[in-house]
């Protein structure tokens, strides 16, 4: 049982917060606090137990941030555990740090410290800034030799870099990209930051003042660390405890947890391009000569690496020929994300390619080891007490050699995957090739990715953490958590709870399905029907969000609507997401009409409360793209197991996406409006009726409008 002292602390803090902010107790919020606290209470017992995992689907308006903070922090502090709150994006991270946690501290007698955790890439590297501002003949020589692989010392805004140095020196800035007074473009930021393979750590002459490590120091002392999914997964991929505290000492809270399986797959995927890799290896040969000249490797090392590079190039030439033969033998080639592609059925690559992959994996293992040896030598050269110029030159070389080591490791991971045979009974890896062909350059890319995050998350997270909480407004599909359980590999002892939103759906919103007289599969008729319907459905005080599953249809509708309507449309292809939402809000504030046209990225994470969105229009049931190679491979595996992939995967996923998309309408208890779905299948197909029944209880107006 949860210790009485901790239980009393949670209850007292909740009462205080409600009183201080003049809030009414919410049944769903209290339920969420109780469920999380009960699930994690095993941590306070002396009995042997598996790490507790709690999944809470908390409908919009529950107040989930306050709930999970109150439920977890008092227990974690009592047990001397860290709390890691992981959000889906950096923007959500900052909301928790700048708004939610200060409100809890201000409105209750809870005492805890917290820190914001970001990856190295969000922080300025003092060493790179120093090199850019000092200038370096050696750096310029490396640039001339190595071309685009090295950041151009003349690229970027030098006035900006001077200003950065001034603000750092004055103590007005701590090197965090997100805290700079103006947005910094990628072009200007990339030359002054590093990743983990380029960072010299304690060997760097700027280590004592390092922006990243100073931020890390404050994190180590904090009770609560606010991170994001990507940083947690990066830490787990490195073995855990490298960037964040050790998993065994952490209770993780994953907000917007429906993103976790996909993000995990991305972290454990691999990719290479054949000709680009050959070009990179050719540049590496030149680089090795320069390293020998600068006396960081001797002639024997240079010759050994030269031999390894030559062998790797020869093997890549051979595999290029095999891949070309594979492409020529295909009757049909799919297209995905504007590239021609071919996904190997069930992830099984042809035997000849698998044999070649074994040799390439061995070769890149040798190259990765060789680059690591050079890196170790550069670290030795950076030791205190040596020649200052030699040390400075080693510091200039280190990030570049780190990049070579990372690229060799990435190739090694890809070729190991292509050399492997997936274990029977387990979900396979998706493996596919993509072909880019243009006037200047053609190349073949190879990719590999898990189709389920289950195994990686089981081994690295669920079995190793102290405990975990997963929450989001939408986690179930068709009223079940089966999809999340399968994709995330949640353990059998996981506790699940679904909390309905406190919103009065029936009186706040109507779900309208117009009579279309066509199926979305009839592209022309369906598109024309939408074009014809928009002026009828949007006729006064327009503040609308129109969501499409297809970019082609979005652009076609834009081009075909009457001229006076096209002026009202803000299309996601024309603006950055934040800028588009800002323009939309400005229009509404001025009393003007405005319609946002967006794709799937606008179906979640877009908050347009009240007058900013009174109508959400959805072009069709949002089924996943059918030629996504990962989903194709997963579907093949599901079918092989004797199940129907459409009903097992596609329908629950579409239901999940539709609930998310419709959820853009009601953002608080006072919102009202209409959701229009241009898809009769939700009524006249059996699977459609199943999807319809899983949606919130909006007032339904089926076929009351004729198009």
613 annotated as belonging to a binding site for a ligand: no
210 annotated as belonging to a binding site for a ligand: yes
Element spanning 240, H or E: none
Residues 6+ apart with CB under 8 A from 686: none
Q: Reduce the secondary structure of 52-120 to three states and give it as a string.
A: CEEEEEECCCCCHHHHHHHHHHHHHHHCCCEEEEEECCHHHHHHHHHHHHHHHHHHCCCCCCEEECCCH
224 annotated as belonging to a binding site for a ligand: no
CA 90 – CA 297 distance, rounded (Å): 41
Neighbours of 144 (CB within 10 A): 9
User: Beta strands 569-571 and 270-273: pairing type?
Assistant: unpaired
Answer yes or no: are the C-beta atoms of 232 and 86 closer than 8 Å: yes
Q: How long is the chain?
A: 707
CA 191 – CA 125 distance, rounded (Å): 9
What does the buried/exposed string (b/e) look like for 312-323 if buried means 16 or more CB atoms within 10 Å of the residue's CB? bbebbeebbebb
CA 588 – CA 342 distance, rounded (Å): 46
Q: At what angle do helices 351-381 and 299-329 cross, to 10 degrees?
A: 150
How far is the CA of 216 from the CAs of 120, 465, 535, 641, in angstroms?
10, 20, 55, 47
How far is the CA of 331 from the CAs of 98, 327, 448, in angstroms?
56, 9, 22
Answer yes or no: are the C-beta atoms of 550 and 597 closer than 8 Å: no
CA 63 – CA 40 distance, rounded (Å): 20
Residues 6+ apart with CB under 8 A from 590: none
204 annotated as belonging to a binding site for a ligand: yes
User: Beta strands 699-706 and 509-515: pairing type?
Assistant: parallel
CA 682 – CA 677 distance, rounded (Å): 9
Answer yes or no: are the C-beta atoms of 501 and 62 closer than 8 Å: yes
Residues making up the annotated binding site for [4Fe-4S] cluster are: 125, 199, 204, 210
**Residues flagged as binding site:** 125, 199, 204, 210
């Amino acid at each position: 049982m949860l210790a009485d002292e901790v239980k009393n602390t949670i209850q007292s803090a909740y009462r205080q917060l409600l009183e201080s902010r003049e809030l009414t107790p919410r049944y769903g919020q209290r339920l969420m606090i109780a469920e999380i606290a009960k699930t994690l209470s095993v941590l306070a017992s002396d009995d042997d137990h598996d790490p507790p995992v709690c999944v809470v689907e908390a409908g919009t308006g529950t107040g989930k941030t306050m709930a999970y903070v109150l439920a977890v922090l008092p227990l974690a502090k009592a047990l001397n555990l860290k709390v890691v709150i992981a959000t889906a994006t950096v923007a959500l991270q900052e909301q928790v740090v700048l708004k939610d946690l200060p409100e809890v501290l201000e409105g209750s007698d809870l005492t805890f410290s917290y820190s914001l955790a970001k990856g190295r890439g969000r922080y300025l590297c003092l060493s790179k800034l120093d090199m850019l501002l000092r200038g370096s003949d050696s750096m310029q020589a490396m640039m001339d030799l190595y071309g685009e692989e090295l950041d151009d010392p003349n690229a970027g805004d030098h006035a900006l870099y001077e200003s950065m140095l001034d603000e750092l020196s004055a103590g007005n800035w701590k090197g965090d990209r997100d805290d700079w007074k103006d947005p910094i473009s990628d072009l200007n930021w990339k030359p002054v930051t590093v990743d983990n393979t380029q960072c010299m750590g304690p060997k760097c002459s700027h280590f004592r003042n390092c922006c990243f490590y100073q931020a890390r120091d404050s994190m180590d002392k904090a009770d609560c660390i606010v991170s994001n999914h990507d940083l947690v997964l990066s830490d787990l991929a490195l073995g855990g405890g490298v960037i964040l505290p050790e998993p065994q000492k952490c209770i993780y809270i994953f907000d917007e947890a429906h993103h976790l399986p996909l993000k995990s797959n991305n972290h454990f995927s691999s990719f290479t391009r054949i000709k680009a890799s050959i070009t990179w290896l050719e540049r590496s040969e030149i680089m090795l000569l320069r390293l020998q000249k600068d006396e960081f490797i001797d002639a024997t090392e240079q010759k050994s690496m030269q031999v390894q590079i030559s062998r790797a190039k020869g093997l890549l030439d051979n595999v290029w020929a095999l891949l070309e033969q594979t492409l020529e033998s295909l009757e049909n080639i799919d297209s995905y994300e504007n590239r021609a592609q071919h996904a190997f059925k069930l992830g099984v690559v042809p035997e000849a390619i698998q044999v070649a992959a074994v040799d390439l994996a061995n070769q890149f293992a040798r190259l990765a080891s060789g680059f690591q040896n050079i890196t170790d030598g550069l670290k030795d050269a950076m030791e205190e007490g040596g020649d200052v110029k030699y040390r400075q030159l080693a510091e200039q070389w280190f990030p570049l050699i780190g990049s070579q080591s990372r690229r060799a490791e990435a190739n090694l991971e890809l070729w190991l995957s292509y050399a492997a045979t997936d274990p029977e009974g387990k979900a396979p890896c998706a493996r596919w090739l993509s072909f880019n062909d243009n006037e200047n350059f053609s190349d073949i890319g190879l990719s590999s990715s898990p189709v389920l995050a289950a195994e990686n998350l089981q081994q690295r997270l669920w079995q190793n953490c102290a405990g975990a909480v997963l929450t989001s407004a939408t986690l179930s599909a068709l009223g079940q958590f089966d999809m999340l359980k399968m994709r995330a590999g949640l353990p059998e002892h996981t506790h699940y709870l679904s909390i309905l939103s406190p919103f009065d759906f029936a009186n706040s919103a109507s779900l309208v399905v117009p009579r279309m007289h066509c199926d979305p599969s009839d592209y022309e008729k369906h598109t024309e029907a939408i074009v014809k319907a928009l002026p009828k459905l949007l006729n006064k005080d327009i503040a609308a969000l129109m969501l499409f599953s297809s970019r082609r249809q979005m652009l076609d509708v834009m081009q075909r609507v009457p001229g006076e309507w096209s002026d009202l449309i803000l299309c996601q292809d024309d603006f950055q997401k934040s800028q588009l939402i800002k323009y939309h809000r400005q229009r509404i504030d001025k009393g003007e009409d405005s319609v946002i046209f967006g794709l799937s990225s606008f179906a979640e994470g877009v908050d347009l409360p009240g007058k900013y969105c009174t109508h959400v229009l959805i072009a069709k049931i949002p089924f996943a793209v059918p030629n996504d190679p990962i989903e194709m491979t997963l579907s093949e595996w599901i079918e092989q197991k004797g199940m129907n992939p459409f009903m097992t995967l596609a329908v629950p996923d579409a239901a999940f996406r539709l609930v998310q998309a419709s959820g853009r309408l009601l953002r608080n208890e006072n919102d009202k409006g209409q959701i229009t779905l241009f898809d009769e299948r939700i009524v006249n197909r059996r699977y459609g009726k199943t999807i319809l029944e899983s949606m919130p209880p909006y007032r339904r107006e089926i076929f009351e409008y004729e198009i």
